Amino acid sequence: MKKDLHPDYHIIDVKMTDGTIFQMKSTYGKEGDQIALDIDPSVHPAWTGGNTRLMDTGGRVSKFKKKYEGLGF
């Protein structure tokens, strides 16, 4: 690798939403810095399988269905 071209790759602490801390390598901050996550795999519905129903925010789904009801969707 060329010198001074790539960012420093070092170990940081990652704090999960439940308070657990683990170490990983990153280009974030400096050696030993900590990053706190707002959303992580232990609580996000994409990984936990929760909240799989479709949310109709502001009637958008019903508005879409009404607009395209004649097309057979």
pLDDT digits (tens, 9 = 90+) for 27-54: 999 999 999 988 887 777 777 776 555 5
Give the per-residue pLDDT at 30: 93
Question: What is the C-alpha to C-alpha distance for residues 9 and 5, in angstroms, rounded to an integer?
Answer: 12
Question: What is the C-alpha to C-alpha distance for residues 1 and 7, in angstroms, rounded to an integer?
Answer: 11
Question: For 21-25, 29-33, 49-53, 60-64, which range has the lowest pLDDT when averaged over its residues?
Answer: 49-53
Question: Looking at residues 57-63, what average pLDDT do you find?
Answer: 73
Residue 29: strand, helix, or coil: coil
Query: What's the pTM value of the predicted model, to 2 decimals?
Result: 0.55
Question: What is the C-alpha to C-alpha distance for residues 17 and 46, in angstroms, rounded to an integer?
Answer: 16
Question: What is the C-alpha to C-alpha distance for residues 54 and 20, in angstroms, rounded to an integer?
Answer: 31
pLDDT of 58 > 70? The answer is no
